[in-house]
Amino acid sequence: MVEKNGTPGDTGLPASIEAAWGLRARPVKGPKPGLALDRIVAAAMAVAATEGLAAVSMGRVAKELGASTMALYRYVSAKDELYVLMQEAAMGPPPPLPALETGAGWREAISQWARSQREVFHRNLWMLRIPIAGPPASPHSVAWWEQGLQALDGSGLHEGDKISVILLISGFVRNEALLMSDLAAAVEARGVPAQDVMAAWEHTLNRLVDPVRHPALSRLMESGVLNEPDEPDYDFTFGLDRLLDGIDVLVQRRRTDDGA
């Protein structure tokens, strides 16, 4: 926070995160010429992108930069702090929502917000492995929350409702991206095309499913729906639309309760 006199207050944040907020100067350069916080974060992101988040450590990043591990600690106090800085850089500021500019309504605006968030996750799948340590407190993460809340302006929802909707939508987006990431990793580990994996799974089900013990699964297999090609992003769109349908019911209820 910034006090009324313009000086930094006690935020409880690490120095590097306060620097991202502009509340203090960025850490001074370390003993190795050219070493800077931005370079450290970029190197860590490169390791995560190529080797996975588990490969990121202070020592591994220092090696990537040709620096000593201790030199990094002049900029970042711990790996968890580095994770926050990596996530902040990968998220970036939220892109504009066309629906907010055209007045298309809360449903279209929050849908665009969700899809923008999904694109960030799909570009940086390693982000999904970062443990959630608390509410958003870095500049870009707070900006995403701000935009999500703005998307719900005009919905008639109470402020507490809006927070719950943001958590619901962002949780769905995160879970869908994580599921797709895990499935892609499983397919890659097998070294065969995704369609072959699905065909093998269907063949296995056909052999194991018993119409007496698994009548619902049997009807599913007999319908042939598993062989029908899905539209692009069908499952994501279906899930998001059903969530929005439910939220719309709440919107209508709030308007009735509030006499709008």
Chain-centre distance for alpha carbon 121: 5
| SS3 label, residue 114 | helix
C-alpha distances in Å from residue 211, one per residue of 103, 108, 161, 218: 52, 43, 44, 5
With respect to residue 199, please indicate whether it lies within any of the assigned structural domains.
no
Instruction: Yes or no: say if 247 and 238 are a contact pair by the CB < 8 Å rule.
Output: no
Residue 169 and residue 62 in one domain: no
Residue 32 and residue 53 in one domain: yes
Question: For the residues 246-260, what does the mean pLDDT come to?
Answer: 88
C-alpha distances in Å from residue 13, one per residue of 10, 23, 41, 72, 130: 8, 10, 18, 18, 18
pLDDT of residue 260: 55
Which pLDDT band holds residue 15 (cuts at 50, 70, 90)? Answer: confident
Residue 50 and residue 148 in one domain: no
C-alpha distances in Å from residue 231, one per residue of 73, 160, 185, 238, 250: 48, 35, 22, 11, 29
Residue 144 and residue 67 in one domain: no
Residue 62 and residue 183 in one domain: no
Residue 84 and residue 126 in one domain: no
pLDDT of residue 27: 56
Residue 182 and residue 240 in one domain: yes
| pLDDT over threshold 50, residue 6 | no
Residue 86 and residue 174 in one domain: no
With respect to residue 6, please indicate whether it lies within any of the assigned structural domains.
no
* Domain of residue 249, residue span: 98-191+230-257
Q: Work out how many domains the chain is built from and give that number.
A: 2
pLDDT of residue 238: 94
| pLDDT over threshold 70, residue 79 | yes
Residue 122 and residue 72 in one domain: no
Buried b (16+ CB within 10 A) or exposed e, 159-194: eebbeebbeebbebbbebbeebbeeeeebeeeeeee
Backbone angles phi, psi at 2, to 5 degrees: -120, 125
- Express each pLDDT in 28-70 by its tens digit: 544 545 688 899 999 999 999 999 999 999 999 999 999 999 9
Residue 157 and residue 237 in one domain: yes
Higher model confidence: residue 240 or residue 182? Answer: 240
- Express each pLDDT in 130-169 by its tens digit: 988 788 889 999 999 999 999 999 899 999 999 999 999 9
Domain at 125, CATH number = 1.10.357.10
